[in-house]
Amino acid sequence: MRRTTLLVALGLVALSAIIISTYGALAWYNGFSRMIQIHECKATQVSAEPPCITDAQNFMWNFKRCWRWMLGNECGRWKMIVKGDFRRAELELSEEFKERVLDIARRDEDVQNLLSEGYNFSCIRSVHIKSVVQENGQVTIEVNEVLLVLTKNECNRAFIEVDLKAERVIRIIIVNVTVVEKSTAT
């Protein structure tokens, strides 16, 4: 009887140790994967040029982080992660704002060339947002730069960075993806 009680107690201790270590490992992994996900999907401004862009040796620099964001067709409301008490904030662009951005882009000669090549406007995303809390507590939010996404077919994207204050196109990044499928039929 005493021996059975001792074996049951040791079995429960061993089972508890396994459960606690498994829970700790899963909790660590979940926190670690969340940390990586937040780190990988931080919004990087298009104006931040990677060191390899001058040599043009590595054309994949945009694909290292958030490649699904780049090649995806998610448009409409733009969700961003905000530090502080909020988890997410939604930014909805008015039709007048969209038209202003499109007018600025259409005035650029290179954008006109892209449109004639078959690219279409698909999405407008704010890149640089400035928030100012004034003395009376009012918050003023101003969008300084916008990223305009043009699509052609399924895999080709052109990212146009527009400066709203200067009312001009700053930079255009074109990403062309070619998929070659090979069958293994014999």
CA 123 to chain centre: 13
Nearest C-alpha neighbor of 45 from the set 125, 135, 155, 154: 125
pLDDT per position as a tens digit, 93-117: 889 999 999 999 999 999 999 999 9
CA 84 to chain centre: 19
DSSP assigned state of 54? T
> Is 65's pLDDT higher than 70?
no
Do 170 and 162 touch, CB atoms closer than 8 A?
A: yes
CA 81 to chain centre: 10
Number of CB atoms found within 10 A of residue 36's CB: 10
Look at the block and give the residue holding tokens 């396994």: 18
Q: What does the alpha-carbon distance between residue 102 and residue 95 come to, in Å, rounded to a whole number?
A: 10
Please report which confidence band the pLDDT of residue 136 belongs to, taking 50, 70 and 90 as the band edges. very high
Q: Please report the pLDDT score of residue 180 as a whole number.
A: 77
What average pLDDT score do residues 124-137 get?
86
Measured N-to-C along each axis, helices 109-116 and 95-106 cross at an angle, to the nearest 10 degrees, of 100
Q: Please report the pLDDT score of residue 30 as a whole number.
A: 63
pLDDT per position as a tens digit, 40-53: 444 433 434 333 33
What average pLDDT score do residues 15-32 get?
74
